[in-house]
Amino acid sequence: MLAMQCVEKPFAMRLAGRVERLELGLVPKLARSRMARLLLSVILLDYGLYVWHVLTHKVPVLWRFHLVHHVDLDLDASTAVRFHFGEMLLSVPWRLAQILVVGASPGAVSVWQTLLRCSILFHHSNVRLPLSLERLLSYVIMTPRLHSTHHEARIENTNSNWSSGLSIWDLMHGTYKWQPAQAPIGVPAFQQVADVALPRCILLPFEPEPGTEHGQIGFVRQVAPRPFMQ
């Protein structure tokens, strides 16, 4: 997070200011009112982050860094800030490109970043909402049950529920998966406490691959599901 504050924020806000002054990007061409531009910018920025999240799983060099987020063995709010600084730095050009293509103003970027932080803390938390309420919410936003499925140590479930804010992107792309979460959480090749210690996680992206049976580092075997929560 420190990397994002020091590297991304100054460039992002400066670029967003220039984009707003020159009316660059899609939003100025699609909306006229300030409120419409704000809403459309937040929605499009959220979609851009969905695409980035998919890429962090599908592009090997990006997955090496994103893996640090997934090896956490206990999914809770602390997981929301468990990202390798290398991944944060690699994401900066993408986020700047989003601002330029979308045509997001500094105000829109600030609103989106605030909502995103709240959403990430919420859906990584171990809060347990009534099932019927959460199922309803899951058609609008990413929820803890939905995202716990994404963090399962089974590749078919890890490759689902990629949205970070609005869940419409998973619904639209067919990657939405609602089901009772299954244990274990994490990545099969890294199921020991020593595997998730801070020093190991810092070096993890640079270590030899433990295996890529399913095309992603760390998924070296199938893990039999067992009930975790209903």
Question: pTM of the full predicted structure?
Answer: 0.88
The amino acid occupying position 17 is: G
If one counts every other C-beta atom within 10 angstroms of the C-beta of residue 62, the result is 21
pLDDT > 90 in the chain, percent: 72
Per-residue pLDDT tens digits for 164-198: 999 999 999 999 999 866 668 999 988 888 888 88
Return the sign of the alpha-carbon dihedral for residues 23, 29, 30, 34: positive
Query: Tokens at residue 168, please?
Result: 């419409």
Per-residue pLDDT tens digits for 98-138: 999 999 999 999 999 999 999 999 999 989 899 999 999 99
**DSSP conformational letter for 126:** -
The helix or strand, by DSSP H or E, that contains position 103, with its residue range, turns out to be none
3-state helix, strand, coil in the chain (%, to 5): 60, 5, 35
